[in-house]
Structure 1
Amino acid sequence: MATYVDIITGFLESGKTTFIKEVLNSREAEAFNKIVLLICEEGFTDYDEELLEKKNVKSIILENDSDLNDELFKQIFTKFNPDYIIVEYNGTWDISKLLGLKTPFEYKFRNIAFISEAGTFRNQLNNMISLMHPHIQNSNLVIFNRYKKIKPAIQKKLIRDIKNINPRIQTIFLKEFESDKIIKERFWAGGKQGNIFLNLKVFIFVALSLFLILITNDFDVYSAIQSTVTVFLSILMQATPFILLGAFISAGIQIFASTGWIMNQIAKGSWSSFLIAAAAGFFLPICDCGMVPIISGLLKKDTPLPQTITFWLASSAVSPIVILAMLYAFPEKPYLAAIRVVAGVVIGIVGGIILKLIQLENHDVLKEHRQFQNIGNDILTLKYEGTKGKIEAVFAGAKVEFFRVSEYVIIGALISAILQTILPQTMKNFIGGNIILQFLVMILAAMLMSTCSTSNAFIGRSFSNNFSAVPILAFIVMGPMLDLKNMVMLSEILKEGFLIFLACLVIIESAIVFGALAFFL
């Protein structure tokens, strides 16, 4: 049976000790016979020795982060053989060191909860982002306490700050009378609430699909389900080997390629820098899901807005992983990969030049009192230096990239398979005969499906039986540019009016580019 390890992290006086005491007092904790409390920071609130003795909790205090090593958990296993371990972690220590430890096979990290006082969070984020970013990025739960004097508008900004760092995280404003409920439903459940909402959305989509099946005449339900499963599995079987290969290539380029010169050229703001900005994505093959913190970081360094937007729009098109995905998804039409690159670069450069011509600058579109995030770093602290350390980093980065992209492939493949199966034949014929409708449908799908740029080629391929090449290319190219979730996160630093203008600009450019392509494909 697994021994779960829960980590409670945050700065001094954030309320970690109080929260841990409530966890130990909860009914769920009574199921454990032996509990180990690992204390990496002694705050002003002490643990009640009577409580620890009553719950059979053995406490271990670490004075320095050097005491945090591979032998620690082995010693805990040998000496105590606990049923449950809870760690009060020091918010100033590198959390990757803890997560990178080699623990006994039975030990499983479950919850990482970051606790903060609501009133001081934004000030701490401004001044200590390098310390806070890894903790929040690796957490599945953020708990704000002492927030009664915080206005609702500020609370929403706090949630956006958190989502900019970790889009999948849960954010909770803890009320004293709700602590038992929160601990039971969010903490002991292993932080799966976010997945519950995701599963609920998928369930609703599947239910609506089944409803459409039932109201459609002459529809063979068994054949429809069989067809859906076949399409779904075929997409996964085609995509998975490539995603694994692409994850290693992406991590390798990020580790071994030097990008300092490229970024310096983009920052100059010259006309030639548009070409460099458009090509930079080849040397920074980062999924569009990770573009938000990168754009924030560039703007923080006063990189010119037009060149930054060009880099953002064109990056997914020129990524070597994306190019390989196109070749792998459309082996009989390799020229589509070249068209994707050209279309993405043209839209990116033209969009940036238009911004320069109308003289839009950073201060025109950036929000005041904005929160900037550093470029995300998914690779844990390395145990080795030199080439050996870089190779280790490639494997660590590839693992993170593979599992992140896989989620989007699975969800996108399921939606695509169901849509192709339940879409009535009459509607297929109606859409199939009108390329403008196809284009509009694919634009809407690109925005709402929010598929990852490194996997949307396979999703686009699955629509090839019902849509022509140009609308499918529009879906593939415009997906990363019009990704709704990225737009929402960017609204924390960029004015909503500018984002709407940019989306309209991209749609108009794309209509012209793909309208021209329609005469040749």
Structure 2
Amino acid sequence: MPSNVFRMSMQVVAAICFLFIVLIFVNRDVSSLAYVFQTDQIQSFKTIFISILLEAIPFILLGVLLSSLLQTFVSEQAIRRFIPKNPILGILFACLLGILFPMCECGMIPVVRRLILKGMPVYIAVVFIIAGPIINPIVFAATFMAFRNHPAIAYSRMGLAFAAAVIIGLLLYRFVQSNPLRNSRVNGEGHHHHHHHHGSFSSKVNSFFLHASDEFFEMGKYLVFGSLLTALIQIFMQRESLLAIGQGPISSHLFMIGFAYILSLCSTSDAFVASSFQTSFTSGSLLTFLVFGPMLDFKSTLMLLSVFKTKFVLILSVLIVITVLTCSLLFEHLF
């Protein structure tokens, strides 16, 4: 429990710093912030905040239930049996594994740690961690619903995530040879005590509901926080300032990388936050947000650091930033 409080408080501090820096850059006159407290601004804030929450919650609930079902009733051995021995096929398989096992990254990281200890190659495991939260049917449906007026975003998100994950997987296969795990014991997997219960059916059902409720409140907490910060940014920042950042060829992508990292949203709900920026930001920068966030955010960084060595997490983080940014810029240029 203390680690949860620490994680959340650190995220709040980081988000306040992020928002403060943005406001310093875009607001020349601090007194102009007084307009935020006007009635119509408060009404806009409530509308944005509540609409994001209401649209996203059904998808979070569906994702959590399916994640808990797989976590409780499907063993790591069952997943490992399907993995091809060929590196290229292994990477492609790991990219598509989320279609069969649509779990959020919170559930994946502890499971993947056990898979590595049982012999799964690191590059395949990492590809599963970064691609699984995006390339799955629940996330596709959520993105499609969020961008009903621009469905190409949903397809592009899947394609971009697939391309980025394959590139990162190949680079890890080529350059990372040593064992990156922090230790070799199958314990200490963080606050999500995900394990398979080999007891009776009733104990598995109990485990399922326990896991689902824990995961729902964990994800819900980040969704509320993300919706709140999104609504604040939309009413704090003047329209012209938001457009200036959002239409910038590089600034829009960098802003969205920072925004996605701080928010730490679940991939089943982040599309509803992104869609609220449709009129201000370019499609390419929205894709950066939608692909980068599930691959690397504040929450997953802490979880990765609890499992992998710091040097490996730094290498992986740099790879994700460069690959996603490059792929998004190429996509924007080509399409």
Partner of 1:219: 35
Contact 1:243–1:405, Cα closer than 8 Å, also in 2: yes
Separation (CA, whole Å) in 2 of partners of 1:273 and 1:206:
38
- The letter for the 2-side match of 1:448 is I
Residue deviations 1:388-421 (CA, integer Å, cap 9, x gap) = 7766665444333322221111000000000111
- The letter for the 1-side match of 2:174 is L
Partner of 1:349: 166
Partner of 1:72: none
Which residue, 140, 152, 168 being the options, matches 2:4? 168
Partner of 1:420: 234
Partner of 1:429: 243
1:168 alignment partner, SS class: helix
Matches for 1:278-427 after TM superposition, within 5 Å: 278-358=95-175, 360-363=176-179, 365-367=180-182, 369=183, 372-373=186-187, 377=193, 385=201, 394-427=208-241
Separation (CA, whole Å) in 1 of partners of 2:63 and 2:266:
13
Residue deviations 1:109-151 (CA, integer Å, cap 9, x gap) = xxxxxxxxxxxxxxxxxxxxxxxxxxxxxxx35xxxxxxxxxx
Partner of 1:512: 326
Contact 2:99–2:137, Cα closer than 8 Å, also in 1: yes
Partner of 2:296: 482
Residue deviations 1:185-214 (CA, integer Å, cap 9, x gap) = xxxxxxxxx87x479749967995999795
Offset, 1:467: 0.9
Contact 2:60–2:266, Cα closer than 8 Å, also in 1: no
Contact 1:243–1:402, Cα closer than 8 Å, also in 2: yes
Partner of 2:93: 276
Partner of 1:448: 262
Cα gap change, 1:257 to 1:333, in 2 (>3 Å):
farther
Partner of 2:315: 501
Percent identity reads 29
Contact 1:438–1:467, Cα closer than 8 Å, also in 2: yes
Cα gap change, 1:267 to 1:168, in 2 (>3 Å):
farther
Residue deviations 1:406-450 (CA, integer Å, cap 9, x gap) = 111100000000011111233223213313110111111122222
2:260 alignment partner, SS class: helix
- Higher RCO structure, 1 or 2 (CA under 8 Å, sep 6+): 2
Cα gap change, 1:241 to 1:498, in 2 (>3 Å):
closer
Contact 1:380–1:396, Cα closer than 8 Å, also in 2: no
Offset, 1:256: 5.7
Cα gap change, 1:482 to 1:381, in 2 (>3 Å):
closer
Which residue, 34, 58, 65 being the options, matches 1:241? 58
Cα gap change, 1:397 to 1:486, in 2 (>3 Å):
closer
Offset, 1:331: 2.0
- The letter for the 1-side match of 2:267 is S
Gaps (5+ residues) in structure 1? Answer: 1-139, 142-166, 171-193
Contact 2:181–2:308, Cα closer than 8 Å, also in 1: yes
- Name the structure with the higher helix share: 2
Which residue, 279, 288, 307 being the options, matches 1:465? 279
1:479 alignment partner, SS class: helix
Separation (CA, whole Å) in 2 of partners of 1:203 and 1:250:
28
Cα gap change, 1:396 to 1:498, in 2 (>3 Å):
closer
- Name the structure with the higher strand share: 1
Q: TM-score with structure 2 length normalisation?
A: 0.82
Residue deviations 1:151-201 (CA, integer Å, cap 9, x gap) = xxxxxxxxxxxxxxxx4167xxxxxxxxxxxxxxxxxxxxxxx87x47974
Residue deviations 1:279-314 (CA, integer Å, cap 9, x gap) = 122232221123332232222223212111211121
1:514 alignment partner, SS class: helix
Count of residues in correspondence between the two structures: 328
Contact 2:197–2:204, Cα closer than 8 Å, also in 1: no
- The letter for the 2-side match of 1:219 is Y
Cα gap change, 1:203 to 1:510, in 2 (>3 Å):
closer
Contact 2:127–2:168, Cα closer than 8 Å, also in 1: yes
1:302 alignment partner, SS class: coil
Offset, 1:343: 1.4
Cα gap change, 1:513 to 1:224, in 2 (>3 Å):
same
Residue deviations 1:347-374 (CA, integer Å, cap 9, x gap) = 112111122223x2243x344x566537
Contact 1:236–1:410, Cα closer than 8 Å, also in 2: yes
Alignment root-mean-square deviation, CA: 3.5
Question: Is the aligned partner of 1:263 residue 2:263?
Answer: no
1:219 alignment partner, SS class: helix
Cα gap change, 1:396 to 1:382, in 2 (>3 Å):
farther
